[in-house]
Chain A
Amino acid sequence: MTTEQTRKLIVLAAIWAALIFAPYWMVPLGGYTALATRVLVLGLAAMSLNFLLGFTGVLSFGHAAYFGLGAYGAGLTLKFLAASTPLALLLGMLLGGVCGGLLGTLIVRRRGVYFAMVTIAFGQVFYYIAFQWSSLTGGDDGLRGFSRQPLDLGLFKIDILSSANYFYFFVLFCFALAVGAMGFILRSPFGRTMIAIRENERRSRFLGIPVERHIWIAFTLSCFFMGLAGALYALVNNFADPKGLHYSQSGDFVMMAVMGGMRSFWGPLLGATVFVVLQDYLSSVTVNWMSFVGLLFVLVVLFFPRGLLGFLQRSKA
């Protein structure tokens, strides 16, 4: 084993150890378990977006739509269909992924800013549906009246509803599955092809790679992961918010990915951690937190365009 590989293994072990023991070290530091759960869920969302943004290199600025669809899918399942948490997660993920896949066919031919514009505009469609169809979705007030259900594993039940720690571990389990799948895809020949498209689209095309189809697959996969994150988010709050579908939420996700470091796999999780903790803190101390978040956007873009991880790696080299 080379030193490089050893180093990677140590970092990976450290990340997972920090995540597994988060409920035990966050509370003494002044945080709370629900905050850790939120970081994890939004981190998963940012990583799902970065799967497309950082590794395929196409700029989606409407990914909140699929996040929100996941949330509404899970919420509606629990409210009207069946009181089953796994089913809610599955259907939420499917709703986000299938809608993403369908719209993806209209989107994949665009590039650069035009891709961004069309994704924003299509994302807003779902916002308006959630906003207007109040008999089903609760409209502006959001979808209420459902709650996550205890997990029934046959032999025993896990009460994720009242125990914040159990719920955190359940979310961590889902997070690990999704992140594992993402890592597996990125290591596969398909993942390598995605990176090739990012680096040089024209050359990939000349090599005979069906670029549009690959981008579509990457887009759809990323929407599935996004839907899962959204479904988990609905379980965190027992509530689905139309704002979760809005393009300003997409902006937050892109910001998390950029702030953490788009070129690295774990960067968006770091970005989400900083973003969520900062927002939580700011909104508790000032009513003008929007200005500060805006200022954060401007400063990161101007001074840390490679994100925190990019900055660390560079200053070390």
Chain B
Amino acid sequence: MSIIRCPMTLLLLFNITNGLIVGAFYVLMALGLSLILNLSNTINFAHGGFLVIGGYIAYAITPYIGFWGALLIAPPLTAVIGLVVERVLIRPLYGRDPLYSLLLTFGLAFIIEDGTRFIFGPQGKPVTIPPFLAQPLSNDFFFITGYRLFMVAVVMIAVALLFVLLRYTRLGIRIRAGTLDLETVAALGINVQLLRSLNFAVGIFLAGLSGVLAAGQLGLEPTMGTGLLMPSFIAIIVGGIGSLPGTLLGGLLIGVASGLTAVFLPAASEAVIYVMMAVVLLMRPRGLLGEEGMMS
């Protein structure tokens, strides 16, 4: 056991664990962004804003129904808000240049950030998690708390369910078909508008879920979503645009890479993900698992 107790090994394990957990957040965010990007050709700049909404909903309802209730209720509520936003603001823009939906969600992100600050104040808010989850599991590995394992488990379940949804359900098959060729899907008599709305809601559900999970780990701040947005973009680019397994891989890769860099060169831990992106774009422009021609 001595090698495990050696400080360097512990430090490495600590940072890899951190990286995986951060990567799990990137994955949840990036999968939602990727779904919306693929089907609606919309870069959702407000995605981080929806994460914040999910977190603050959890914060507001935890005193009444507890953490478990919030975990169940907050993501669907966020998805409903997402549905309304899609229906009212984004749907009119589908036929236009992608520039417009980009600008709109960009403005929306401002409004959400400022709105939460106005309602809940600029200070961080804690969300209470069940006490048994807050304990470290062993003395050697102080950093592996029950909550962190729990978070990773929830992310894994959510990702697994998403892939089951996409693979085996009618909705999922339509979403995948629409990603490849929306015109044909429409010609087969499928309501594309509805499909896009549901797809948007699924993406926002994932953002809401990561908001609740992040609230339990880090506490809540109105700006917390913005910081996760850029790494999620990079996860998508590295993994390959158009490929959801790629996004999954990309998110975990950049999480672990920045975790490991934090051991040796803390200042570069954010820069390293940009370096990874540049290298991938140079060596393999379509991304790790992307299909030929998807990026252009």
Contact = CB atoms under 8 A, between A and B. Distances in A.
B107 A293 contact: yes
B233 interface: yes
B118 to A, nearest CB: 6
A84 B110 CA distance: 39
Interface string B92-109: 110011111111101111
Contact of A109 (B103, B277, B295): B295
Contacts of A113: 37, 41-43, 98, 102
B295 A293 contact: no
Contacts of A302: 89, 92, 104
Contacts of A64: none
A255 B103 contact: yes
A114 interface: yes
A13 interface: no
State the main secondary structure of chain A at its contact with B: helix
Given A59-B98, A113-B41, A120-B233, A251 B271 contact: no
Contacts of A128: 270-271, 274
B237 A117 contact: yes
Nearest to A114: B295
Contacts, number: 118
Contact of B234 (A121, A248, A294): A121
Q: 4 tightest A-B contacts by CB?
A: A297-B107, A294-B110, A294-B111, A290-B114
A291 B114 CA distance: 6
B73 interface: no
Contacts of B100: 258, 301, 305
Interface of A: 53, 59, 61, 106, 109-114, 116-118, 120-122, 124-125, 128-129, 132, 247-248, 251, 254-255, 258, 288, 290-291, 293-298, 300-302, 305
A46 to B, nearest CB: 14
A294 B85 CA distance: 14
A285 B82 CA distance: 31
A298 B99 contact: no
Given A109-B295, A132-B267, A295-B111, A117 B236 contact: yes
Contacts of B267: 132
Contact of A112 (B41, B111, B277, B278): B41
Interface residues of B, number: 45
B60 to A, nearest CB: 20
A288 B278 contact: no
Nearest to A289: B114
10 contacts: A112-B41, A117-B236, A121-B274, A128-B271, A132-B267, A258-B103, A291-B114, A294-B107, A301-B100, A301-B103
Contacts of B221: none
B198 interface: no
Contacts of B98: 59, 112-113, 116
Given A121-B230, A121-B234, A61 B102 contact: yes
B64 to A, nearest CB: 28
Contact of B107 (A59, A111, A129, A295): A295
Contacts of A114: 241, 295-296
Contacts of B96: 305
A253 to B, nearest CB: 11
A116 B97 CA distance: 12
A296 B107 contact: yes
Contacts of B278: 106, 122, 125
Nearest to A305: B100
Contact of B109 (A117, A258, A294): A294
Contact of A129 (B102, B103, B271): B271
Contact of A290 (B41, B110, B241, B268): B110
B282 interface: yes
Contacts of A53: 99
A121 B277 contact: yes
Given A112-B98, A121-B233, A296-B107, 16 more contacts: A106-B281, A106-B282, A109-B285, A110-B295, A124-B230, A128-B270, A290-B113, A293-B107, A294-B108, A298-B107, A298-B111, A301-B100, A301-B101, A301-B103, A302-B89, A302-B92
Contacts of B270: 128, 132
B271 to A, nearest CB: 5
Contact of A291 (B37, B101, B106, B115): B115
Contacts of B241: 114, 117
Given A114-B296, A116-B98, A294 B114 contact: yes
Contacts of A122: 274, 277-278
Interface string B243-286: 00000000000000000000000011011001001100110010
A122 B110 CA distance: 22
Contacts of A110: 295-296
Contact of A251 (B42, B92, B97, B103): B103
Nearest to B234: A121
